[in-house]
Amino acid sequence: MTDAPQLYLVTPSDIDASFADRLAAVLGAHEVACLRLALATQDEDRVMRAADICRDVAHKADVPLVITDHAALVDRLGLDGVHLTDPRGLRKLRADWGSDPIIGAYCGASRHDGLTAGEAGADYIAFGPAGNSSLGTGERADIDLFAWWSEMIEVPVVAEGSLDLPTITALAQATDFIALGEEVWSAEDPVARLAELTAPFRG
């Protein structure tokens, strides 16, 4: 793979109406391939309100919006697809939906799970955490996994989780997409922070 990775943006785990301006500023300053709504809440009303906020801003910027796990809300809310953290139901969902909606699958650090999800019809496979993290099992999706996947498999691959500048630099020629979320939104100036983290793409 020789092309620089595209940017895949993930929302904070909790957002309110004020997020619209921050999101619009980031999408206006940076080319983003996809936005994922990834909320911690399971409150349906809050999820729907957040989806409305993000959809309006994202679609105005011609950026597709997918939602984490809540596949039943995709058509209802006019979203572009779903990101599955458990891809075991992916094959049926693809059969029910057809080819148009985006279905992404998070597969941890498992090459086998990634291959299975790809065969089931996933539009992209996400591996992570690509950086060092003590959360979860602590198992890291290392650079060799992304490099192998990019060379051998046609399904696009997304690197996410605990990404810092050195990790992004190492991944710049080994992945199709870099997913950034809290790495950006935790900064006082998300636009500037995103410019710093995507510098390896432009180098």
| 142: Cα within 13 Å, side-chain hemisphere | 3
Q: How confident is the model at residue 200 (pLDDT cuts 50, 70, 90)?
A: confident
Range of the domain at 16: 6-202
Residue 52 and residue 112: Cα distance in Å, rounded?
Answer: 36
- Identify whether 139 is part of a domain: yes
Whichever domain contains 155, its CATH number is 3.20.20.70
- Identify whether 128 is part of a domain: yes
- Identify whether 1 is part of a domain: no
- State residue 1's pLDDT score: 45
**Chain mean pLDDT for the chain:** 95
- Identify whether 42 is part of a domain: yes
Q: Residues 6 or more apart from 99 whose CB is under 8 A from it?
A: none
pLDDT of 2 > 80? The answer is no
- Identify whether 50 is part of a domain: yes
- Identify whether 15 is part of a domain: yes
Domains in the chain, number: 1
Tell me which DSSP letter residue 121 carries.
T
Q: Give the whole-number percent of the chain exceeding pLDDT 90.
A: 92
Rounded mean pLDDT of 63-69? 98
Residue 174 and residue 79: Cα distance in Å, rounded?
Answer: 29
- Identify whether 17 is part of a domain: yes
pLDDT tens per residue across span 138-194: 789 999 999 999 999 999 999 999 999 999 999 999 999 999 999 999 999 999 999
pLDDT tens per residue across span 93-145: 999 999 999 999 999 999 999 999 999 999 999 999 999 877 667 789 999 99
Note the pTM of the prediction, 2 decimals. Answer: 0.96
pLDDT of 41 > 60? The answer is yes
- Identify whether 166 is part of a domain: yes
